[in-house]
Chain A
């Protein structure tokens, strides 16, 4: 008799089953854990990115603030340096006008006048004004020899300034003929392509009739002749127009990026739109500034001596060449302060000022710079007004060129892009990216955006959703158990069938509920992400439309600027430049 040896494997299989169950549970926990870490990592990455952007902005702002602070210190130092090196000239300068006024009143003694002027002569070596004052004092006490010697000395130190000084002084003392003789002397020695800066006094005097009838006639005649000669060359006229274009560029505005945050974030062509807006903003700014120049009305005294004193003060104060390098540095640093630390714009802004502080300049450019940068040239607003009139055609051409330039680069629609990292939702869900344009109608753009989001989460939803194949494995197990039961006993088999059917049903139902929950979670995340992206898109488009409105408004102010130029009150000499 053979006995069948039956080995009972059930404890082992039970143990294996329970092990597998534990393993499954651990793996599930681990996956949840990893999922959480993944989410935390994403949050950390996006926060890090925000931090980096904020830090970059801070660094740039800190850089600009540092530039401004450095420039402020520098301006203070340079002005102190100017004072230290050339401060003693201010005594001589004040004395020149003071001496003349004292002669008017006649209440000082000749001895004191001579003493003061001789002391200044000793104290300011190489300065042209000192011997000129000695000459004045000698003249007042009728000492011809000393007067001639001093005039010679002053003339050798600075022929132009001395000629102009005596021309003004003689006019002030009502010696018209002598004044005109000095003036003629002055003009004869001038080269119109290389004038020294004190020529601006001539412009000032012509604007205010400082030389009397004969003198003014000579000045206007010479200026007209020079203008016709020099302006016959197109490169000279183009250079003037270029200066005016630079002046208009300095008036460009600055866009507040906060107002266009969504557009700046989503559009790669934002810099173009920004440049467009800033350029167009130059026009109203120019209108404001030059309307002020036109409307300027300073109280003018009726006394001729006061006019001449002003001219004399201007002559002796503004035009000393040794000061120019320091004054050019001051101009640059003041421009840095005005442009809040933007070095590139500061260079552009100060370029004109620095040009006006060059040692020599040609007659046409001097007039243009008197119109654009009067303070740097050293003239008053009245002279500026006259100079704008002279350069009227240049100003008009420059406006046309500037507007043509920014209009040829103007855009009416920009591309928009929502990339895979445009929001934390996009990063978490792995957004596939979307591109479009501002001139696309809203419904179609939003529809495509929604479709992109749907496509993004499609794979994950497909993975998570309940499949009917979940029935297969439990059903097979149930079937196996039932068959074994039937082998024992029919009743046991039927009972087992019932129990296993129920067990399969509950198990699969649990699985389906879980799958539905997870799918619902993903869908909720997708809906939130969609809404967020739609908002971003709508904001970007609205900001672009707003930007275009602003641009059109600004652009439409060009006719007003042209009208201002065309109706400029002092444009009598405009025929010269045609």
Chain B
């Protein structure tokens, strides 16, 4: 009986910090949200949706860095990643470009995508969108071929 209260107190201390680090950033200002609605240039749309075409590793990295710069300039807040269709062929169907612009991960239909991208999967399959932007605060914005946002 004596050990119980002490144990509970300990677990409370242990539990708290972990919970704090997992809480996502949920507060986004109206300005940042409105910046996300601005149209994207055709070069940006082309660069993102044709990421697979480049086989040259260095060229791809430069393209991804350029894309990252463009997004930083737009001021739409931190991106979780860019999600689009994969043209490498079977078994891959979609890929995710990380915010640092450095990593490109490919996924097969049976593989699960990182958390936050799951709701965007059926949208990536749809032929109406060029690619999907997923923001750190959880907002998912599909982008059409002409660069306008889908919402």
Contact = CB atoms under 8 A, between A and B. Distances in A.
A in complex with B:
yes
A408 interface: yes
Interface stretch (B2-10, B13-21, B57-65, B117-125): B117-125
A404 B34 contact: no
Given A234-B34, A400-B151, A403-B150, A408 B128 contact: no
Given A397-B151, A400-B151, A555-B128, A407 B122 contact: yes
B122 A408 contact: yes
Contact of B33 (A234, A408, A409, A558): A234
Contacts of A234: 30, 33-34
A407 B34 CA distance: 24
B126 interface: yes
A51 B89 CA distance: 51
A404 B151 CA distance: 7
Contacts of B99: none
Residue among B119, B142, B151 facing the most chain A CB atoms (10 A cut-off): B151
Interface string A531-562: 00000000000000000000000010010000
B150 A409 contact: no
B122 A410 contact: yes
Contacts of B34: 234
Contacts of A410: 122, 125-126
Contacts of B149: 400
A404 B122 CA distance: 10
Contacts of A107: none
Interface in B99-136: 119-120, 122-123, 125-126, 128
A412 interface: yes
By size class, the interface of chain A is: 10 to 19
A401 interface: yes
Contacts of A412: 125
Q: Lowest 8 A-B CB distances belong to which pairs?
A: A400-B150, A407-B126, A400-B151, A401-B151, A234-B30, A408-B122, A404-B150, A408-B123
Nearest to B120: A408
Contacts of A404: 123, 142, 150-151
A400 B30 CA distance: 20
Nearest to A397: B151
Interface in A323-346: none
By size class, the interface of chain B is: 10 to 19
Given A408-B120, A412-B125, 7 more contacts: A404-B142, A404-B150, A407-B123, A407-B128, A408-B119, A408-B123, A410-B126
A409 B122 contact: yes
Contacts of A403: 128, 150
B122 to A, nearest CB: 5
Interface in A390-418: 396-397, 400-401, 403-404, 407-410, 412
21 contacts: A234-B30, A234-B33, A234-B34, A397-B151, A400-B142, A400-B148, A400-B150, A400-B151, A401-B151, A403-B150, A404-B123, A407-B122, A407-B128, A408-B119, A408-B123, A409-B122, A410-B122, A410-B125, A412-B125, A555-B126, A555-B128
Residue among A404, A410, A412 facing the most chain B CB atoms (10 A cut-off): A404
Contact of B128 (A401, A409, A558): A558
A403 B34 CA distance: 20
A510 B126 CA distance: 67
Contacts of B142: 400, 404
Contacts of B122: 407-410
Interface in A356-415: 396-397, 400-401, 403-404, 407-410, 412
Nearest to B34: A234
A429 B40 CA distance: 63
Contacts of A407: 122-123, 126, 128
B140 to A, nearest CB: 8
A24 B132 CA distance: 77
Interface string B139-151: 0001000001111
A486 B141 CA distance: 101
A403 B144 CA distance: 12
A234 B33 CA distance: 9
A397 B149 CA distance: 8
Nearest to B141: A404
A119 B119 CA distance: 69
Nearest to A412: B125
Contacts of A401: 151
A230 B32 CA distance: 19
Interface string A9-35: 000000000000000000000000000
